[in-house]
Chain A
Amino acid sequence: MSEEPLLKVENLKTQFFTEDGTVRAVDGISFEVYEGELVGLVGESGAGKSVAALSVMRLIDSPGVIVDGEVTFKGKTLVGYEETTGEPGEPPELVEREEMLTEEEMRTQIRGREIAIIFQDPMESLNPVFTVGSQLREFIELNRDLSGTEARAEAVQMLREVGIPEPEKRYEQYPHQFSGGMRQRVLIAMALACEPSLIIADEPTTALDVTVEGQILDLVEELQRKYDTAFVWVTHDMGVVAEICDRVNVMYLGEVIEQANVEELFYDTKHPYTEALLASMPRPDRTTGELNPIRGVMPEAINPPSGCRFHSRCPDAREVCRRVHPDLRAIENGDHDGDENGRVHRAACVKHDAFDVGYPESEPLENEATGGFEVGLTQEGSR
């Protein structure tokens, strides 16, 4: 194996304790981010991508609680519990490990300084009553130990870097004087200006129109190469993934179900959900005028289906899928057991030989995807 990962997430679980029940938004995910790498976190709305990303920075607000798992970043333990005990449906008693950073240490050592974030909606992310420049400068001063004038110069320089014309003048302006695309550039400048090792981008281009999205993606690629910053890119758009990501984690209902570098994910897809996601992309080379959506809706994370969580919508589902919950395993198919860096292609599907649970002999399952009756597990579970 190669060098240590920059960020290592293991078995992370984040739950929301609501009146309707416990929402298992992130349910035991593991992934790594290596230095300078652009890692995608992909999935439909509600898959738990954003919660996973925010959990890494411990920015989950009540009633959300990170209940289990381990997050290490540059050898520091961001999340790590000794033991967790508690009744189901209640937030557990958490005993933090000694080396786990305190809230104060998270604030002064990690947030902004080592891990920066870009939110989805550039219209809401900037404070309307402060100038763009003063916000930028405040964060730079805070995270880079620069004096006021140095931070100001740095802020103007960063605005220029992200392609904002007349940065000196723009520095003095308020957010409402910027367009959506320009605001997102400001937020990218903000993230990069703090010189973090990792930037978490939470669907940063979703709120933008397609041409602006293209420009922003080009900008990020260029700056990422220049600054060699690692990115976790949260998105639901496979097109964006194909364009910028090095490696991808596909999420479904709080779990990572496939993990691969981007070429393998697109050309050697291992999980039926990823296949369905790829097939649902509109493609100009396809001549039929119809889109190919994934059938059914994602079940609620309060009451996830038994077995494989995708079995209610999976075209390849068999009886065994309803019983066996597949974990994420390295898929061996002879050609390779990992890319040049030893990073392995993993999938959580019993179809593959890595799982020997009797998939080939099992009866096909009729469900939302195969067009039969609705398999009722999700329906039974919901009120």
Chain B
Amino acid sequence: MGLLRYTVWRCLQAIPVLVGILTITFFLTNAIPGDPVSIMLGPTPSAEMVEQIQARYGLDRPLHERYFSYLAGVAQGDLGHSIYYDVPVLTKIIERLPVTAYLVFSAFGFALLTAIPLGVISAKRRNEPVDHVSRIVALIGVSTPSFWIGLLLIIVFSFQLGLLPATGLFLPWADPANVRGAATQFDVVVESFKRLLMPMVALGTLQMASITRIERSSMVDSLQNEYVKLARAYGVDERGVIWKHAFKPAQLPVITIVGLGLSTALGGAVLIETVFEINGMGRLIIQAINNQDYPLVMGTTFMLGALYLVGVIITDISYAYIDPRVSYGEK
């Protein structure tokens, strides 16, 4: 009782937000100067051809009509048809999304696995050398742009040391036939991981640094709590005190930061995919914008918005799961 209903309720609440995202994306995209037709047809097209093309993509209809038919299409799972690629937008997204998801989730995995122990140790050994080092690393991490970290990694590990390939990324379960130099599935997994390392670190560093900072300060607070003293006074060992009694109540702010970090990471993926020439959602958006491919711009932006919303909902639900005081909006 409670948690499930809360989940459903949060998902229902997301619907108006999605409509909002669609609306803003639609009108902003159409406000971009120039239009796809002139790009397709070059600098001096004949008026006849322009009309013909516009009619083909429905661009001759009034804006509000196009808006409502677009909404109706999305409601039925149709994100439109890409002008540039000449395939359904959804097909293109399904083709590109997995690589981006692979990158973003790996980056968060890397960030959490390093940031949580670092933050906790830092809080436990407050003002000792370990703490100073981790705080400086975190400060550098939050203030360095991810694309720059990416470029540095490429210079060091690809050009100087020649250890890792600088470009491209594919999924570990890709078909060995499509991967150059890979004979077995195992080769694909290894190669995929090698290609993942640098973009993952480049994209994850900012997350790692901000999670470390919040984990540290939250644990410092938590360790001073009366209930932590009580646990010590009842003979709980130091590990139990830190990783159970102090840790669990300290995770609420951390979850918030992770949830908010998702939007930064999705934005960061656009840059990282460009730096590492990864054919994911990020590059797709940039290509779509450059080609003024309206349906594709709208579809990809909408998809990222929806993903972010999923992140927010997961954040809210884990909040309710960890903190029994969060009410489920029931009276």
Contacts and interface: CB of A to CB of B under 8 A. Distances in A.
Interface of A: 57, 59, 107-108, 110-113, 116-117, 119, 121, 124-130, 138-139, 142-143, 174, 176, 187, 190, 194
Given A125-B230, A128-B249, A174 B235 contact: no
B325 A176 contact: yes
Interface in B285-331: 322-325
Contact of B227 (A59, A107, A124, A143): A124
A116 B235 CA distance: 9
B200 to A, nearest CB: 32
B4 to A, nearest CB: 18
8 contacts: A59-B232, A112-B233, A117-B233, A117-B234, A125-B227, A127-B245, A128-B227, A139-B236
A190 B226 contact: no
Most chain A beta-carbon contacts within 10 A, residue among B225, B226, B234, B249: B234
A127 B229 CA distance: 11
Interface in B229-249: 229-237, 245, 248-249
Interface residues of B, number: 19
B234 A194 contact: yes
B65 to A, nearest CB: 53
Contact of B248 (A59, A129, A187): A129
Contact of A116 (B225, B229, B233, B245): B233
Nearest to A143: B235
A198 to B, nearest CB: 12
Nearest to A124: B226
Nearest to B222: A127
Interface in B43-79: none
B226 A119 contact: yes
A130 B248 contact: yes
A53 to B, nearest CB: 11
A111 B230 contact: no
Contacts of A126: 227, 230
A130 B225 CA distance: 14
B101 to A, nearest CB: 31
B323 A59 contact: no
A121 B227 CA distance: 10
B234 A119 contact: no
B324 A127 contact: no
A139 B244 CA distance: 13
Contact of B230 (A107, A108, A113, A117): A117
A107 B235 contact: yes
A116 B232 contact: no
Given A129-B323, A174-B324, A176-B324, A112 B234 contact: yes
A210 to B, nearest CB: 23
B327 to A, nearest CB: 10
Contacts of A112: 233-235
Nearest to A131: B324
B128 to A, nearest CB: 11
Nearest to A138: B236
Given A129-B248, A143-B235, A174 B325 contact: yes
A128 B230 CA distance: 13
Given A119-B230, A124-B225, A108 B235 contact: yes
Contacts of A128: 227, 249, 323-325
A57 B232 CA distance: 10
Nearest to B237: A107
Contacts of A107: 235, 237
Nearest to A130: B248
A121 B322 CA distance: 23
B229 A59 contact: yes
Given A124-B225, A125-B230, A127-B245, A111 B235 contact: yes
B188 to A, nearest CB: 43
Nearest to A57: B233
A59 B226 contact: no
Nearest to B245: A127
Contacts of B231: 127
B245 A142 contact: no
A363 to B, nearest CB: 48
B316 to A, nearest CB: 16
Given A125-B227, A127-B227, A127-B249, A59 B325 contact: no
Interface string B202-241: 0000000000000000000000011101111111110000
B234 A111 contact: yes
A17 B323 CA distance: 37
Nearest to B249: A129
Contacts of B235: 107-108, 110-113, 139, 142-143
A202 to B, nearest CB: 10
A11 to B, nearest CB: 24
A139 B234 contact: yes
Contacts of B234: 111-112, 116-117, 139, 142-143, 190, 194
A257 B73 CA distance: 85
A108 B232 CA distance: 11
Contacts of B226: 119, 121, 124-125
A109 to B, nearest CB: 9
A124 B245 CA distance: 13
A194 B230 CA distance: 13
A119 B226 CA distance: 8
A190 B236 CA distance: 14
Contacts of A119: 226, 229-230
Contacts of A190: 234
Given A107-B237, A117-B234, A187-B230, 11 more contacts: A107-B235, A119-B226, A127-B231, A127-B249, A129-B248, A129-B249, A129-B324, A142-B234, A142-B235, A174-B325, A190-B234
A130 B322 CA distance: 9
A29 B205 CA distance: 54
Nearest to A114: B235
Nearest to B252: A129
Contacts of B323: 128-129
Contact of B236 (A57, A59, A117, A142): A142
